[in-house]
Structures are given as C-alpha cells and as structure tokens.
Structure 1
C-alpha cells in the first residue's frame, strides 16, 4: 500500500508541437517530476519500504515504441536535489525521418526545458549515454553501470517486442550553463533504456 504526495508536473506538455504530428508512434507525457512517497509493498515475502523516497510518474500513449531511442530518468532529494528526464528517439515522417529529443531538468526549483522544438542539438547518443546542447546549456549523461531487465513493448498495438530497461543503473549527469557547472550527480538508482532496433544478444528481441 503506497501513498503519493502532491505531484509536480512540468509547466507545459513535454512534447510541445510534436504532439500535433499525425505520424508519431508514441506520445510521451510527464505527470510528476517528483513527489513524496509513503508506505511499503511486499515482494516474495520481503517488505520494501518506500517511505521518504521520491516518486516520478510518466505516460506513453501510442501503438509502437520508436525503433531506436534512449530514455533516462532520475530524481534525488536534498538541498541540491533535482529531477530530470531525457528521451532521444527517431521520429518517422511521411517522407523520411529525423532524430529528436525532449528533456526536462528541475534544479533548485527551476525548470529547464531542452528539446528539438526549442533548438536543442543532439551532439552524441549511444548505449553509453548522450550529450544535448541548447544555447548556453549542455547536458551530459554517462552510463556507468547497468542491469537491464526484459520488458514487453508494443509494435503496431501488439506487445510483440522485447526491450531491456534498467531501473537500477548507475548514471552520471552533468548540467552546464556556459562554463558553469550547475550540478553533477551520480545516481546508483537511475533509470536507463537504450534501443537501436537491432536484434541480437543484449539488444531488442522481437
């Protein structure tokens, strides 16, 4: 039995004008970048206490996950606490496609939005992380350790795809404004997921 504190949504739809694209495979949404937790659950006889933790809630709506994408999320408490979510994905169009990103960063009570529709550039993205730059701001994400678990995912409305997601990855996040490092955070309980759409060991397996 778990209880959630007040949600903290982002100011506007994280998808921005992307939500109007008729050909989008998946529409992402953020319900809460961070909220308090209270209560516990019992898993295989072991009691897991979530009291004092920080919650995060998002949504995905659509018929398919993008073929290639990266997603990561973390939230941490304290005076230097914060929360962030980054997604990079291939976006199909009627003619061709492009790679876009959406990102929300909460730091010291301020929301930063990095997104393709705001001029963000994806300087690098791979199974080991990503680098996103928008004007003076730069976000570096570096995967240090992972432990992915297999999950079913949709393909044209049917749960016929297997992806691998880690909810206990160790990830380093660094966020700059110009030459000033606003924060550096290494999280041993971050979420991280990467897919290049290629079959094989450790990759997607339809």
Structure 2
C-alpha cells in the first residue's frame, strides 16, 4: 500500500486539506458515483470534515459537513472514519443522514490492483512528491478493483455487485488553479486503467507545467509518461466550450495518444488555502479514447471508455490551447 494513502495532515494547523476519492461504476453502467471523504482547515485554523458525493446519472452533488471531532484517520495505514462512516483499501461503509441528504450502504473491494510501489516505483508524482511546500500532492491508491454491495442514495438502491472502482487522493493547500484530469477504467476491449493530469504548478515563487500519464492493462502492458522521466507532451488541445481535450505523449518505451469528451457533470467543492469554497465541474461519464504504441510504432492497445472521470479547470483566456512541451 502506497504510504501517501495514509493520513498526512496530523500536525497541520491551517491552510490544509486532504481528501480520498472513491469512484464506483456498476456492472451494467447504469450507476456511476464518486464518494470523497476528507477534512479541511481554513486560514484561521477552523477545521471540519466532509463527505462529498456526486451522482453521474443526474449530476446531483451532496456536501455533507461534519464537526472535525468526528474525523479520525490513521497515519500508519489507510483507515479513515467520519462519524458512522468508514473508508479503507478493503471497502467503505456509509451511514449519512443529514439535512443535505441520505446515503447508506456498504461496498467491499476485491481483485484489487494497487498502484505499484517500492524501489524504482515512486508515487505518480515521482520525485516531485518528495518536495516540501508543494501546493497540492496527488496519489493513486487503487488503479482498479471489483465491487460487491449496494448503496441507498436518497431512497434509490444502486446495485454495484460486479462493478468496478478506483481510488486516488489529494492533499496540500489548494487545487492547482489550472489543470486537466482524466481517469478511465472501463474500456470496451479489455480491463485496463488510464490516468492523465496536466497542471501549472507553483513552487517557490515560480510556476512550471507538469504532467503525468499512467496506463496498465494488468496483463503485462504498463507505461508511465511524466515530466520527471523525460517524457514529452508533444501536443495537447483543450476546448472548454466544447468540453474536449486531446494529447500526444512520447516516453522512454513508446507513445500514447488520447482524446476525451466531457459529459454532463456535477459541481464539487474544491480547496483554496484550505477553504472548501471553490466550485469545479466533474464528469464521471466522459468518453475517452486511448491508443498506445511501442518504440517500433506497433499499436499494443487501442480502445474507448464511456465511464471516465474528467475535470477541466483553465484560466480564462486559455480555453483553447496547443503547445509542445
């Protein structure tokens, strides 16, 4: 288990957030939800815990607010509790009934494919994840797992037996002001996992563009493209009005091309200096196409997914952009 999955904010006093992202897709693709437990500390040191939920089918979102006294997370293993709700690598249990809404149920995870760790396998941020004072840190916990159980969401029963899930997390002060994020696990041809992110990263008074992409089909094909392993983002295009993006990457072992189309999404709260008052739009039913080639130009994977996670957050004035990095 990657140690970044553990609670990192034990000694934080202000301007801090930490959240774990659980994506759940049913076997029939009729249900798609994301559940985000977390905590935040504002600039004055006021703390609270939360559980955010997004229902991709209707775009509805919930932000359940809890006193920080109800938050308990371990710093030596992945184990988070908020009031009567629990979250870990093996599953989650929900028992929320607030003025915001109601969500109850239990999901169990098996056939787990965690993000690889160990010597030579740093977290998805590579050496950047070891630098102090970064605005935001990102970690992938499960690339893929299967789900057993169901969830009752405002009176509707969502059956996730046989479904597929994914877990990641973010922690730090603020989400990047400008970023693009994609994640897909439901490809038409075979099980695989793909994640891509590009952000403008402020660090010690300067700002630089960084990116990573990770692909695996769990059957021997695994490739990583990132700023830190001298990969190149040869081309990327984003159109916020159309909700589309495309990119071409070259790395040590091959190349990857992708396109993505935003679907209807819901509004989630995101952190700015620990204040959960920024709104972002996330879809978890976006359409993503991926083609992976080896160093000889042979296509080793090509498929599409219609249950992908997608967020586009760009500064005004760069809604449509092409560049080579």
Same fold (TM over 0.5): yes
CA contact (8 A) 1:101 1:120 kept: no
Where 1:8 maps in the other structure, the secondary structure is: strand
2:173 corresponding residue in structure 1: 63
CA contact (8 A) 1:151 1:164 kept: yes
Q: Is the 8 A contact 2:189 2:303 kept in 1?
A: no
Residue of structure 2 equivalent to 1:192: 310
Please list every run of at least 4 consecutive aligned residues from structure 1 whose deviation after the TM superposition is greater than 6 angstroms: none
CA shift digits 1:165-191 (9 cap, x unpaired): 100111212222242112122111111
SS in 2 for 1:31: strand
Corresponding pairs, count = 199
Asked whether the 8 Å contact 2:175–2:271 carries over to 1, the reply is yes
1:131 Cα shift?
2.3
Pick which of 118-127 and 185-194 moved more.
Answer: 118-127
Q: Structure 2 vs 1, CA of residues 170 and 17 (structure 1 numbering), >3 Å: closer, same or farther?
A: same
Q: CA deviation at 1:87?
A: 1.1
| Aligned 8 A contact 1:82 1:106 in 2 | yes
CA distance in 2, matches of 1:64, 1:176: 35
The residue that corresponds to 1:89 in the other structure is: 199
Conserved in 2, the CA contact under 8 Å of 1:37 and 1:54?
yes
Paired residue for 2:113, among 1, 5, 8? 8
Pairwise mapping of residues 1-206 of structure 1 onto structure 2 (< 5 A)? 1-11=106-116, 12=121, 13-76=123-186, 80-107=190-217, 108-125=219-236, 126-127=238-239, 128-129=244-245, 130-178=247-295, 179-198=297-316
- Flag the 1:50–1:181 CA change in 2: closer, same or farther, 3 A: same
Contact 1:54–1:77, Cα closer than 8 Å, also in 2: no
1:110 and 1:10, CA in 2 relative to 1: closer, same or farther beyond 3 A? Answer: farther
Gaps of 5+ in 2: 1-105, 318-325
- SS at 1:5 equivalent: strand
SS in structure 2 at match of 1:7: strand
Distance 1:64 1:81 in 2: 33
CA-atom RMSD in angstroms: 2.0
Q: Alignment partner of 2:190: what SS?
A: coil
Structure 1 or 2, whichever has the larger Rg, is 2
Distance in 1 between the 2:151 and 2:195 partners?
Answer: 26
Displacement of 1:65: 0.5
Unaligned runs of 5+ in 1: 200-206
Partner of 2:177: helix, strand, or coil? coil
Question: Aligned to 1:18, what secondary structure does the other structure show?
Answer: helix
Instruction: Check 1:69–1:97 CA distance in 2 against 1; reply closer, same or farther (3 A cut).
Output: same
TM-score (norm. length: structure 1): 0.88
Q: CA deviation at 1:21?
A: 2.2
The alignment's TM-score, normalised by the length of structure 2, stands at: 0.57
